[in-house]
Amino acid sequence: MSDTQPRPHLPRLHLHDSRTRSTVPFVPLAPDNVRVYYCGPTVYDLAHIGNLRAMLTADVLVRLLRHLYPNVTYVRNITDVDDKINARAHANGESIADLTARTIRDFHEDLAAVSILPPDVEPRATHHIGEMQDMIRSLIESGHAYEAEGHVLFAVNTYPSYGALSGRTPDDLIAGARVEVAPYKRDPGDFVLWKPSDDQTPGWDSPWGRGRPGWHIECSAMSQRYLGESFDIHGGGSDLLFPHHENERAQSMCCHPHGRFANHWVHNAMLLVNGEKMSKSLGNFLTVRDVLRDTPAEALRLLLLRAQYRSVLNFTQEGLDEAKQMLDRFYRALENLDPMQDSVPAPGSVVQVLCDDLNTPRALAEMHALADAAMTGDSRAAAQLKAAGNLIGLLQDTPEAWFRGGAKVDPAHVERLIEERLAARKARDFARADEIRNALAAQGIVLEDGPQGTTWRQA
């Protein structure tokens, strides 16, 4: 077995690589430590469901890598210095520190609610200004960057492979970047590495004057700090492919010409809301919290998993309802779970399809087959269903907790009413028994009579 193979008896992972525009076998640079970097949030507002799709793609990928390989280092950054942050803090009449602290806290809470695991390292841009300045200094010394009117800019024409990641022509690159027309630029496509700050704007002392970093240099510096000059996978939403990731790659490769920067690029597609691009002007802009106000978090996660990450996903209320029904079925199947079998490995059939470029729709189909078997009383199939759910971050509750999770009543009160109903039935007061059942049903509580007694769940 090659040193770069996953654990024995596990399949080879194949991933689509945005740079080569093909699906290829994943071969780690170092088999003892698979290294992954994902672009995290710019912290000025609540995370929306488009942000969530990128974070969920990273979560499924890292969960699978940890199943396949003995060690994975996952880094996801936080951008806490940005002009959008400055503008929002000013508009809110609050300090930048208060805005970023609150937004980071909200981001962590929202992701935890949807069972997205935290990264191993979560560097903040403001804590790595020194590393950014070191990279900028190196780029100037090597002739890939230049100073102009308090700015430092990357000279795109010094890197012949600029555009290779996104597959764009020079004219496309300029149009796609929506470049700022500035007299101090040598070329319209040159992008900012460092820019000046006034007294009201966050800034740091530097050889080029008091200023702050451009967005692209942040990720290059933080990925190099924690993962090295070459690492395995860089990911994010497809909207980051250009210019952000193109610029990251250019400046990193020029700063470390003997490295590879990211060996493999993973980009998830965007999502639509009711068939339209999400935007505030259309009134269909949804934050994660907007959705979770009325929807179980696992239903939101399952809805996003029903489409393969490179496919456009249409987010609808009907889709959420269907996801909730699918979870009802899975949790029904888990009622046959034998506690003695609650630690079986993830089924090979599920691992196999996930290794086919994170094919979560097929993984869910395999889980439905396991649910079919579990509902016939197959306790091992129920255990395998639970293990499959754990692998993709689903089925984190017990059936009892799932079916009672949304009930707006005191559980002890429900149990007392069940006892009163049982006493009424024994006394053959069926009218009172039906009255109790109907009253609970009106509160969204369904009673189910079985050989072991009466249980209840959320409708």
CA dist., res. 178 & res. 239, Å (int): 14
Flag the least confident range among 12-26, 113-127, 266-280, 418-432.
418-432
Lowest average pLDDT, out of 198-207, 276-285, 287-296, goes to: 276-285
Decide if 32 contacts 21 (C-beta within 8 A).
Answer: no
Q: Report angle CA 252, 255, 258 to the nearest 5 degrees.
A: 90
* pLDDT band with cut points at 50, 70 and 90 for residue 223: very high
- Does residue 30 carry a pLDDT above 60? yes
pTM of the model: 0.88
Structural domains in the chain, sorted by start: 14-271 (3.40.50.620), 294-403 (1.20.120), 411-458 (no CATH)
User: In this structure, what are the phi and psi dihedrals at residue 111, rounded to the nearest 5 degrees?
Assistant: -70, -40
On whether 324 is known to bind a ligand per the annotation, the reply is: no
- Check whether 16 has a pLDDT greater than 50: yes
pLDDT of residue 191: 95
Q: Is the pLDDT of residue 174 over 90?
A: no
Q: What is the DSSP string of 16-63?
A: EETTTTEEEE---SSTT-EEEEE---BSSS--BHHHHHHHHHHHHHHH
Who's near 278: CB < 8 A, 6+ residues apart?
Answer: 48, 49, 50, 271, 272, 284, 285, 286, 315
pLDDT (tens digit, 9 = 90+) per residue, 224-244? Answer: 999 999 999 999 999 999 999
Residue 442 pLDDT exceeds 50: yes
Average pLDDT, the chain: 92
**Coil vs helix vs strand at 397:** coil
- On whether 244 is known to bind a ligand per the annotation, the reply is yes
* Residue bearing tokens 């003695």: 340
**pLDDT exceeds cutoff 60 at 449:** yes
248 assigned binding-site residue: yes
Cβ–Cβ < 8 Å for 49, 287: yes
Q: What is the pLDDT of residues 374-384, one digit of tens each?
A: 999 999 999 99
Q: What is the pLDDT of residue 2?
A: 46
**219 labelled binding-site residue:** yes
Does 409 have pLDDT greater than 60?
no
Instruction: Tell whether residue 151 is among the known ligand binding residues.
Output: no
Q: Which of 63-72, 151-160, 335-344 has the lowest mean pLDDT?
A: 335-344
- Over the stretch 62-99, which tens digit does the pLDDT of each residue have? 999 999 999 999 999 999 999 999 999 999 999 999 99
440 pLDDT exceeds 90?
no
More confident residue, 308 or 189: 308
